[in-house]
Amino acid sequence: MRTPEEYIEDLKKMKPNVYMEGKRVSRDHHLLMYGIRVIAKTFELAMDPKYKDLLVTKSHITGQEINRFTHIAQSPEDLLKKQEMIRKLCHITGGCIQRCMGCDAINALSVVTYEVDKAYGTDYHKNFLKYLEYFQKNDLTAAAAQTDVKGDRSLRPHQQPDPDLYVRIVKKTDEGIIVRGAKNHITMAAYADEIIVLPTRAMTEKDKDYAVAFAIPADTEGVKLITRVAYPRPRKELHCPAEVYGVGDSFVVFDDVFVPWERVFLCGEWPYAGVLAHHFANFHRHSYTGCKPAVTDIILGASVLVSEYNGIRDKPHVRSRLVELVCVGELVYAAGIASAVTSTKHPSGTQIPNVIYTNVGRRHAGVHIYREYEILTELAGGLPATLPYEDEFINPETKPYLEKYIKRKEGIPAENIHRCFRFLSDTLCSALTGVSQVAGVHGGGSPIMEEIIIAASYNFGEKKKIAEYLAGIRSSLD
Ligand X SMILES: Cc1cc2nc3c(=O)[nH]c(=O)nc-3n(C[C@H](O)[C@H](O)[C@H](O)COP(=O)(O)OP(=O)(O)OC[C@H]3O[C@@H](n4cnc5c(N)ncnc54)[C@H](O)[C@@H]3O)c2cc1C
Q: How far is CA 87 from the centre of its chain?
A: 12
Write the binding mask 92 to 121 for ligand X: x where contact by CB under 6 A, - elsewhere.
---------x--------------------
Q: Binding to ligand X by residue 228, rule CB under 6 A?
A: no
Beta carbons within 8 Å of 353's beta carbon, 6+ residues apart = 79, 282, 283, 285, 286, 336, 339, 340, 343
- 180, burial (CB in 10 Å: exposed 0-12, middle 13-18, buried 19+): middle
Q: Binding to ligand X by residue 361, rule CB under 6 A?
A: no
Q: Which of 160, 356, 446, 465 touches ligand X (CB under 6 A)?
A: 446
Q: Binding to ligand X by residue 435, rule CB under 6 A?
A: yes
Residue type, 4: P
Q: Binding to ligand X by residue 475, rule CB under 6 A?
A: no
> Which of helix, strand or coil describes residue 7?
helix
In the complex with ligand X, the residue whose CB is nearer, 201 or 418, is 201
Taking the complex as a whole, the smallest distance from the CB of residue 132 to ligand X amounts, in Å, to 20
257, 197 contact by CB (below 8 A): no
Site for ligand X in 230-269 (CB under 6 A): 249
Q: Binding to ligand X by residue 158, rule CB under 6 A?
A: no
SS (H, E, C) 135-177: HHHCCCCEEEECCECCCCCCCCHHHCCCHHHCCEEEEECCCEE
Beta carbons within 8 Å of 20's beta carbon, 6+ residues apart = 29, 31, 32, 190, 227, 228, 229
In the complex with ligand X, the residue whose CB is nearer, 398 or 446, is 446
Q: Binding to ligand X by residue 147, rule CB under 6 A?
A: yes
Q: Which of 337, 383, 417, 439 touches ligand X (CB under 6 A)?
A: 439
Q: Binding to ligand X by residue 185, rule CB under 6 A?
A: yes
Distance CA 224, CA 231 (A): 22
- 236: DSSP letter: S
Size of site (CB under 6 A) for ligand X: 22
Q: Binding to ligand X by residue 404, rule CB under 6 A?
A: no
Q: Binding to ligand X by residue 187, rule CB under 6 A?
A: yes
**Integer angstrom CA distances of residue 82 from 103, 134, 148, 422:** 10, 21, 27, 32
Beta carbons within 8 Å of 157's beta carbon, 6+ residues apart = 148, 163, 165, 166, 168, 203, 207, 210
Closest-CB residue for ligand X? 146
Q: What is the chain's alpha carbon radius of gyration, rounded to the nearest angstrom? A: 24
Q: Binding to ligand X by residue 86, rule CB under 6 A?
A: no
Name which of 7, 85, 395 is nearest 237 in CA terms: 395
Of 111-119, 408-416, 433-441, 470-478, the window that binds ligand X (rule: CB under 6 A) is 433-441
Q: Binding to ligand X by residue 448, rule CB under 6 A?
A: yes
Q: Which of 33, 144, 197, 306 touches ligand X (CB under 6 A)?
A: 144
- 169, burial (CB in 10 Å: exposed 0-12, middle 13-18, buried 19+): buried
Of 58-66, 355-363, 385-393, 445-453, the window that binds ligand X (rule: CB under 6 A) is 445-453
Q: Binding to ligand X by residue 326, rule CB under 6 A?
A: no
Taking the complex as a whole, the smallest distance from the CB of residue 200 to ligand X amounts, in Å, to 7
Taking the complex as a whole, the smallest distance from the CB of residue 197 to ligand X amounts, in Å, to 9
Q: Which of 17, 127, 445, 450 touches ligand X (CB under 6 A)?
A: 445
Taking the complex as a whole, the smallest distance from the CB of residue 154 to ligand X amounts, in Å, to 6
Distance CA 380, CA 85 (A): 30
Q: Binding to ligand X by residue 190, rule CB under 6 A?
A: no
Q: Binding to ligand X by residue 438, rule CB under 6 A?
A: yes
Distance CA 144, CA 187 (A): 8
Residues near ligand X (CB under 6 A) are: 101, 143-147, 150, 153-154, 185-187, 249, 435, 438-439, 442-446, 448
